[in-house]
Structure 1
Amino acid sequence: MTPPPPPPSSDSAGLRRLRALGHGLTHSSYVPGPLFGGAVRRRWTQFIPYVLALALTATLLPVTILALSNWYGLPGALAGGIAVAQTVPLLLLVDRPLLAWWIVLPADVLCALVLLPQADGDVNVWPWPAPVLIGYLFVVLAVALREKRPTLVGVWLVTGAVSIALALIYSRDNDGTNVLLFVLSSVLLVIGGAVRERGEAQRRLAEVQTLSEAERAQRTLLEERARIARELHDVVAHHMSVITVQADSAPYRLTGLSPEAAEEFGSIAASARESLSEMRRLLVVLRNDGTEGERAPQPGIARAQQLVEATVRAGVPAELSLPGDLGALPPAVDLSAYRIVQEALANVVRHAPGARTRVSVASDGSFLTVLVVNGPSDATSSPLETTGTGHGLIGMRERVRLTGGTLDTGPLPDGGFRVAARLPLDPLPASAPEDVT
């Protein structure tokens, strides 16, 4: 029997932490994106951090040269070289802050060692003159806004170690800028890291919300298409059943049929039964909720009066203009017109309570026109929903596209809303319904 592996020791855990810190200091975790999280709404705003970095460098470079040469008496060439090493890397703060830190920190330590002989003079600001202190704090802030937590811990530890080492080198009284740098760096690392993590959390939340909205819209679209397919099945199944019955009874109803004609009627009946069987199998797949309500007769535009009455009972003054001579409408058009009126009135109740609404249905023999127009919402009533997902409009467009019609929706100048559908009364080609299934 193989003995279980020994538990990891505290030494190995410590080594793993040290390796993680070392990896964080040598491998940047920066991912391109907005500096403070969130989305960039205007293209020009992405250049603002670069402009700020350039302005910071252009300001600190001459100030550092003057400070090193005038306050500490360094030769101009030496002061310029050290100042360039300390300030020019600030141009990397936006995209490569960790690299800038690796350049600026050694340059600052070199500057402190060069200024060590002047620490006993009239100016005893050592080891970090004011321009050097400001530049390093900006580097630390940029690292905190771009890098992950292990890198920040490593930067904090290295900063503390350097401050302690310089304090040991020069133990006489000074202004304590090494302690000030360590404390301010710690504060900036904590604040910057919190801002960065909050920005990442907001971006992840926005991505999840975007995916959820897309999935919800896709699910609504698929549900609407499935319901349309079931409704088409009911319509087509009715006509196919009639064809089957007529083809089966033709030899008995019609006398004097030849054997060839009787056989042809039998073939027609068999083809109709096969089509019905295939459509029923498709319906089993689509009708996954097991409800019996789907098998009820489908409503038509003739029942629009019931919708209007229900809307009036909900507190919306609505009126209907429906001629009584529409004739026999194609089942798909009849059902689509009803569903469009139903969804439009439901939207009025949800988003514009108390708005005066007018429903008009007309036919010119070639097209059926459905128009639902509502005015602005009643100021004394608050809407049930202040925002909408647009899924109802998606279902309307799917139904109109199914019949080959057109749909026009949009707000009105007075604050109302308009839904206008134009549905052709001529049947579509047989291949058209396949687009939605």
Structure 2
Amino acid sequence: MTATGADREAAGPTTRGYWWWERRRGVALDVGLALVSALECALEGVQFAGDTGLPVPLAVLFGLIAGSVLVLRRRWPIAVVLVSIATTPAEMGFLMGIVGLYTLAASEVPRRITVVLTGMTLVGTFIVSYVRLRQSVDADVDFGPGVWYVPVVSLFMSLGLTAPSVLFGLYIGARRRLMESLRERADSLERELSLLADRAEERAEWARTEERTRIAREMHDVVAHRVSLMVVHAAALQAVAPKDPAKAVRNAALVGDMGRQALTELREMLGVLRSGDALVAPEAGRVPLASVGRVAAVAAAVVVEDGPRLREVEVLVAQSREAGMTVELSVEGELRPYAPEVEQTAYRVVQEALTNVHKHAAGAKTWVRLAHRGAEVAMQVENGPTDGVTADAGLPSGGNGLVGMRERVLGLGGVFVSGPTDAGGFRVSAVLPDAQGA
């Protein structure tokens, strides 16, 4: 299982408390290298003592101390390289020089310092090699190479002891920085993906909420008006049945027609919901944003395409008249086709306003006005005060009718105003822009 960036940050380095080392294997490696380097310098100190006449114990002690400096290579690589340069005339610390240059090149030390110390090491090694090789050539009378031999061999020896470790250190340092950069980018992408997932979840929740609100609004518009008229007709049927059987039969037929219409609209809406459930059925747990969007799109398209139109307002007004309401309909301008969502919203505003009159102002005279203007359609439903004679049908009110109308109108960029009139009635006004003409 791959560790994430958060896991790495939480876990931290493998080991803490070993001074500047982060891992136990780093401690073991550096201590081992320092021991080998100290042993090497101690053995070379014996030869150095023989060449210079120093006491052997002192030379060995010097070699042990100088070689053990390699244990500091991770913390102070410059100091390690300087010590190796200082011991070059004594022909000590070859391992310390190689490892020190590698560590220096792989570290974050400024490149100009690396170049200077590498040059110093190269020059020091070249001088020592040249002197020793010249002494050997002069001592061997039988061996007579050309003038070029000593400097060329000395140069190759100094390059062989310096260049490979520096180049390998530069490669390892670049690779290490590249891996760190890739790790940081991976952590950054991981955080961004997490943020995007959170935002997608928020958008999905918002889409679900919006869809629930829209479905609730559609259910309210479909059910409230039809059922309100059915209740009004049922009350009228109860009142006129003993006196006028023929009218009672007509009212009963109207109640049946309205019930069938309400059931038809509810069945269509439930069919839309079932199709949406089929779309999201494979995701039983979390609903993806794309699935929610498809559900909303399908539901909205079906409802808009199969929804009512402005030309059906006359039928709506006639149904209210048949329920006993006095309604006057006036139309300004010539009826023309609008965008389906505009026509449906305009119809629903008039429908809900008439439903509210049935609920709250039984027997009040009502005026429905439609105006077809250049780039908009306006509608207004106004009722006067209740006559106080018509019995209240006792219809419940959830208080969501005006809220739903406002949401519909504002969602299309229109204007919605509602409130009581000076005459004691109530007025609902809305203006919708013509989406096709815009």
TM-score greater than 0.5 by the shorter chain: no
- The structure whose RCO (Cα within 8 Å, separation 6+) is larger is 1
TM-score (norm 2): 0.41
Q: TM-score, normalised by structure 1?
A: 0.41
Which protein is bigger by CA-based radius of gyration? Answer: 2
